[in-house]
Each structure stands twice: as C-alpha cells, then as structure tokens.
Amino acid sequence: MQNKNIFYIFGILQAITLGLIVFFILGITNIGKDTSILLSILFPLFTLLIEYLIYSKK
C-alpha cells in the first residue's frame, strides 16, 4: 500500500516537471500557445498512464 502511495506522489511530481519542461521548450519555438499547452498536458499524462500500467503488472 505504501509503495502505491509513493508511486502516486513521485509519478505526479514527475508528470508536472515533465509538463513544465515541455511547455518551456516549446515556448521558445514558433509553435502556437494552444499547441504547446496541449502537448505539455497530454505527453506527461500519457507517460504517467504507461508507467502505471507497467507498475501495476508487477
């Protein structure tokens, strides 16, 4: 049970950090603001979902 709580805490922190990195990297390019917001939300959520699926199989 505690391992699952640790996974949620660090998984969410990782997703937030990844989202911010993607948002700031795409912010310096000529990609529109709406696209950079969408990618900075969807990409970390997708990776968090994949990590959860891998973690839950153990």
pLDDT in tens, 11-54: 899 999 999 999 999 889 888 899 999 999 999 999 999 988 98
pTM for this entry:
0.81
Query: Can you give the pLDDT at residue 46?
Result: 95
CB 39 within 8 A of CB 26: yes
pLDDT single digits (tens) 4-13: 788 889 989 9
Query: Can you give the pLDDT at residue 1?
Result: 62
Query: Can you give the pLDDT at residue 17?
Result: 95
Identify which of 26, 18, 5, 23 has the alpha carbon closest to the alpha carbon of residue 47. Answer: 18
